[in-house]
A and B are shown apart, each in its own frame.
Chain A
């Protein structure tokens, strides 16, 4: 029984996550079409709802091409690293308070560790390996440039990301994610207490997930496809899915740290039974995460890409000082107010 509950939790979270990711691809294409005044994919199934399935079948059936001069082993390994790291970040994210099922209180979080935030930062910093190694192992100049760009970019923005999290940690007084969510009861969401930290964290998340306007590692007009130029079939599909999984994961992290996680303000006053409160909280978490995912998508289709020097300037000359300043102000306020 002790082993069964975590296994069930992991399977449910993985299943839901992969399903959501698959449909996010469809959502992205439909939103893009709407913004560009097109229709978008609407042929497979009702309004194109079976499109993700068709895409997966197509990717699996395609031939896997490896360049002759490539390093075969690392070429195979890179997409797996990308996908695995995108998925395991979810292990520490609380998607609800505890729920009582069959007379047993179950915590709605896969693993509650007392180094939760550090775990997330560590996993984000590992995400760069998949991209860098794919760029190196393909033995192609476009891939190599994409890989180099991504490692420089992610190292630069990791600092701003880590520093803007510390403000939240100082307010909550804990590194545990479920404690951080619990301190954000009512309207005490960290987005209101840490507006600057929120902005820097969201911008850094965009850079860490290689999404527009920071998608220089795969800038199509300059680098063909960037780090995944030499990939095809299922391995390309893994990179593609990893990008969307990263998007969902970082939305979940932003929700947990700044948007109150599963908290619904004043739900306790409504007098609902505890079971339904838990269900509503999980739903609230999902809605918040998905709104953020939509935000990621809309940004992609509205803002043009940065130039490389602009990216570095923003990272080192704006984001880093801003997050240090935010840290200083937060510290002073906590100390003297």
Chain B
């Protein structure tokens, strides 16, 4: 096993563990922290894939901005002690869990697992993950969607202000 492969298994285990702890945790702040850990694990996986730009953007946007917003809202509403009662695993929810597990199992069968050591990253991956390559594609081939993103963000901004304002005349 190469260093990359060892790192992959450690980080993958970390990602799964933090995801599970996130959805089972009772305290929303702890859930936020586990989700941040999960995002860091994904950033490391992107680095193993040589996708440096996506890795750093993952930390910058998800961990640095979106999760701060979550934490801010949880602190603002003071949700720390609200949810004391444990979610009872009733009939409906157990069915949901079982169904999700079946779907996951089917997906895993469809993907199939080859023997370790076969099929690595192609050499082009080193170039493909840099800011230069992605920037070039983004501003040539995908310029229109990129511009439309700004409209989306503007719409979101207006919507948030309307929603969050207490009294709107």
Chain B contact-residue range equals 20 to 34
Known: A74-B33, A136-B80. A151 touches B56 (CB 8 A): no
Q: Hey, what's the 0/1 contact readout for A94-137 against B, CB within 8 Å counting as 1?
A: 00000000000000000001110011011001101100110111
Interface membership of A87, Cβ < 8 A: no
Chain A contact-residue range equals 20 to 34
Give bound CA distance, A114 to B132, whole Å. 9
Contacts of A315 in B (CB 8 A): none
Known: A74-B33, A114-B52, A148-B76. A122 touches B60 (CB 8 A): yes
Main secondary structure of the interface of B (DSSP, over half): helix
Main secondary structure of the interface of A (DSSP, over half): helix
Give bound CA distance, A309 to B72, whole Å. 18
Interface membership of A57, Cβ < 8 A: no
Interface membership of A260, Cβ < 8 A: no
Chain A minimum-CB-distance residue to B43: A122
Known: A115-B56, A119-B56. A125 touches B75 (CB 8 A): no
Evaluate contact between A125 and B52: CB separation under 8 angstroms: no
One of A122, A132, A154 near B59 (C-beta < 8 A): A122
Interface membership of B68, Cβ < 8 A: yes
Evaluate contact between B60 and A118: CB separation under 8 angstroms: yes
- A-contacting residues, B55-88, CB 8 Å: 56-57, 59-60, 63-65, 68-69, 71-72, 75-76, 78, 80
How close is A116's CB to chain B, nearest CB, in angstroms?
Answer: 10
Q: Hey, what's the 0/1 contact readout for A63-94 against B, CB within 8 Å counting as 1?
A: 00000000100100000000000000000000
Give bound CA distance, A152 to B36, whole Å. 19
How close is B113's CB to chain A, nearest CB, in angstroms?
Answer: 33
Evaluate contact between B68 and A122: CB separation under 8 angstroms: no
Give bound CA distance, A137 to B27, whole Å. 12
Contacts of B59 in A (CB 8 A): 122, 126
Chain B minimum-CB-distance residue to A126: B64
Chain A minimum-CB-distance residue to B27: A71
One of A71, A114, A125 near B68 (C-beta < 8 A): A125
Chain B minimum-CB-distance residue to A119: B56
Give bound CA distance, A128 to B60, whole Å. 12
How close is B92's CB to chain A, nearest CB, in angstroms?
Answer: 32
Contacts of B30 in A (CB 8 A): 74
Give bound CA distance, A71 to B32, whole Å. 15
Give bound CA distance, A137 to B74, whole Å. 12
Evaluate contact between B60 and A136: CB separation under 8 angstroms: no
Evaluate contact between B72 and A132: CB separation under 8 angstroms: yes
Evaluate contact between B75 and A144: CB separation under 8 angstroms: yes
One of B27, B64, B76, B131 near A114 (C-beta < 8 A): B131
Give bound CA distance, A135 to B76, whole Å. 12
Evaluate contact between B56 and A118: CB separation under 8 angstroms: yes
Known: A122-B59, A125-B60, A126-B64. A114 touches B130 (CB 8 A): yes
How close is B15's CB to chain A, nearest CB, in angstroms?
Answer: 18
Contacts of A158 in B (CB 8 A): 64-65
Contacts of B80 in A (CB 8 A): 71, 136
Evaluate contact between A128 and B75: CB separation under 8 angstroms: no
Evaluate contact between A126 and B63: CB separation under 8 angstroms: yes
One of B52, B53, B72, B130 near A148 (C-beta < 8 A): B72
Interface membership of A165, Cβ < 8 A: no
Chain B minimum-CB-distance residue to A114: B130
Q: Can you list 18 pairs linking A and B with CB atoms under 8 Å apart?
A: A74-B33, A115-B56, A115-B131, A118-B53, A118-B56, A125-B60, A126-B63, A126-B64, A129-B36, A132-B71, A132-B72, A133-B29, A136-B75, A137-B29, A151-B68, A154-B68, A155-B69, A158-B64
Using a CB–CB cutoff of 8 Å, the interface residues on chain B facing chain A are: 27, 29-30, 33, 36, 52-53, 56-57, 59-60, 63-65, 68-69, 71-72, 75-76, 78, 80, 130-131
